[in-house]
Every structure is written in structure tokens, then in C-alpha cells.
Amino acid sequence: MFVDRAKITIKSGKGGNGSVSFRREPFVPEGGPDGGDGGKGGDVVLAADSSYRTLMDFRYKTKYEAENGEDGRKKKQFGKHGEDLIIKVPPGTVIIDEETGLVMKDLVHNGDTFVVARGGKGGKGNVHFKNSVRQAPNFAEAGGEAKTRRIILELKLIADVGLIGFPNVGKSTLLSISTSANPKIGNYHFTTITPNLGVVEIFDKSFVMADIPGLIEGAHQGAGLGLDFLKHIERTRLLIHVVDISGSENRDPIEDFEKINTELSSYSEKLMHKPQLIAANKMDLLESQEKYEEFRQYAESKGYRVFPIMAAINQGIRELLAAAALELEKLGDIPEETYELFDFAIHDADENYREISVEKQGRIFVLSGKQLEKIFNSTNFNDLDSLRYLYRYIRQKGAVDKMKDLGIEEGDIVRIRDYEFEYIDE
């Protein structure tokens, strides 16, 4: 099954906590604190790997977590860093932040990597909190929090040549004859419901050709499978427009040709700037040569080259592929697409990180805040210095004044997460 879009949840590793430890060795008087720092949490990294062709794996597994960092140890030993989680995706995968809809990275080439969520920093051990006044700090810093993010993975096939045209005009037959691909072929609409890839080898050259599932009128607005597969044409360098010249389904070849090109330009104007070769297929079913000549003159008047072919019996195919190979030689590499990129510095910044909010619930005053929770997690409630450190932070950030404005009185309860203590007015 070909899967070209997936939504997953990724979570980086939490940083390890700093250690609270003191040297206790014979003949070492006043050894002092020696708690080591916690290890950094693992990053979540997406990597393009050419051995992957679809996003099928993400249909069955949608949550991914990197390893947490280890806590620090005594004797100033650092905790082990968490292992980075490397998630492999096919080249051509676009990473999109679900919340903002902005592109984070386009992994075009094999080996491209991108860190989509960084692990939390390791907390500092108690050795860092020693000063001239506090000789034996009995607390350490908690590790940094993990980052959770919802992302969309969208695969756009990378092919040199894309086969376009209405359903049942012979694209799959052309691909099967030109390459070793084995697409399902039948005389009915929408035989192909997933893109197929194959490698064309001609002369001493080779190129990748993709059969893009049949487009119909209104595809750019989502009709049929249009929006699902129009995006795959964006990566191609050259288009081969396959037309049923015989009109075997009571359709006019000129009208079909114009309708498909209208869909391309309506989806993205840049698709119309891609060079096209026209394969006038089913010449063996043509009732009148005049019909072909009328189409050829029309197409050539618009600057297109027309190649009469009979894909079912392998006639005219070599000339078409040779022209495609020569055209590809003239074209440079497809330029990388430009997007409005996701800016980590802006979207991950938290202006309220240091702010403490106060909520009054009866005679209970609830304090919350991201930095407050980190310091709270670092607090040793059996150590007076550690409690003073927490209280000083709460006062400095204006939370005490906020509680007074809300009418706090001595003996009222102050709650931080699941910890409660009585307020004593100084």
C-alpha cells in the first residue's frame, strides 16, 4: 500500500535531574557537595533514507519518544545523555507542524536530517549551588522538560519524468513497457489509484519515471484523487502528457489535453512551466489519420512536440523515451521548493515561562508557572536552604504581592501542584 501522508506525535527525552551528594571519605574533612549534573534528554531526529519508499510504517505506529537523560551521580559524575531517536522517512518527505501548518523542513536528498524536537537539558547537581554563605546545599536542579509536538509527514515523489493524462489513456501500459515496473492494468477508469515508479534505461542513460494516477476535471479542487496526487508532479523535471488520440471513449483529444493543463495551472502555476512532451497513444485504434494531424498541428502551434505511439504493442516508445532523455540532459536539477518556514525561535519561545499565575479557590491560593514547577521539582522540602530558595523566587516574581491583592491572610493555604503549606505574613 502506498501511503504519502501521516500524522505522528513525537516527544523528546526529559533531562536528567542533578544529584544531591556529599563527599564522605576518610581523611577528607569538610568534603562538601559533589553531586553531578543530569544527562541531556535525547533529540528526535528525522532522516531521509532512500531504502524507504512510502510512509506506511507510520500508519501502524503514531507515537515516538526519545530516551530520557539519566540523573546525576555522586563524585560529580554526570548522568548519561539520552539516546537520540532517529526516525527514517523516504527522501521527498516534507515535515509540517500541525499546530501552525508551517513547513519545518523538506528532506529532499538521501541522508538529509532534521532535529524536530530537542531533548531537555540536564539539571545541575548541588555542587553548583555552593557559595560563601551556603556551604552545604541540600538541593539540586531538576532536568529540563521534554518537548512534545504533533507533526504531519507529507511525501512528494521524486522522479525525473511524470506521466500525466486522463484515466485509461495508457499511462500504466507505457510505464510497464518502458521500465521494470508492474502496475495493474485494465480497461476501466481509475485502474491506478497509487503512483508507480520505474527506471527507464536507454542508450547509456537512465531516469526515473512515475505514473501519476489519472486526473479528472476539477482535480485541483479535490475531485477524484486530484489533490492527493497533483503534489507528486511538483517534484518532476519533465512531463509526458499521454493523450488517447483515438477518442475511444467518445472524448476529444484536444479538449482532454486542455482540461488536464487547466488542472495543472489551477493547482500551481509553476506546473505549467514544466516542459511537456505529448504521447499521442492508441494510434492503432485511430479511425482517421486526419484526426491525428489535426491534434498534432494544434499542439505544435502551442510549442509542444508530439510523438505518435501504440503502447499496447510497443510502437513509437523508443523515440519518445530518447526525446525525454535528451530533454532531461538540457534541464538542470529541479530547484528546491520555497516555503514559509516554521521558526523555532519564535514558536518555541515562551514569554510567560518565568511568570507565576495566582488563582484563588476559596481560601486556597494556587500558584502555577513553568519555571516555578521546575524549581519546585528541584526543592528538597526537608532542607531549609532549599525552601528559602523556592520562597525567594516566588517573592521576586511578584506572586506574594498578587496573593495579597487577592486578600490572602495568615493561615490561608498556598498550593503548588500537590504540595500545600500555610501562609505566614512577614
| Of 247, 269, 17, residue with least CA distance to 121 | 17
pLDDT confidence of residue 221: 45
The strand pairing partners of 305, in sequence order, are: 277
The total domain count for the chain is 3
CATH of the domain at 373: 3.30.300.350
* Single pTM value for the model: 0.69
Between the alpha carbon of residue 81 and those of residues 51, 121, 123, 360, the distances in Å are: 29, 9, 12, 40
DSSP string, 262-299: HHHHHH-GGGGGS-EEEEEE-GGG-S-HHHHHHHHHHH
Mean pLDDT by runs of 10 across the 426 residues of the chain is 80 92 71 88 94 86 95 90 95 90 89 93 88 78 90 86 87 86 48 69 85 58 50 84 88 90 82 90 87 93 94 92 92 67 66 82 88 83 81 88 88 87 79
- Do residue 309 and residue 417 come from a single domain? no
- Do residue 147 and residue 220 come from a single domain? no
Cell numbers standing for residue 152: 504531519
- Do residue 180 and residue 304 come from a single domain? yes
The strand pairing partners of 365, in sequence order, are: 360, 414
Within 10 Å of residue 176's Cβ, how many Cβ atoms? 18
Between the alpha carbon of residue 257 and those of residues 29, 242, 280, 282, the distances in Å are: 90, 9, 10, 15
- Do residue 116 and residue 79 come from a single domain? yes
pLDDT confidence of residue 109: 87
Question: Residue 277: which domain range?
Answer: 161-330
- Do residue 149 and residue 217 come from a single domain? no
CA atoms within 13 A on the CB side of 265: 8
- Do residue 372 and residue 264 come from a single domain? no
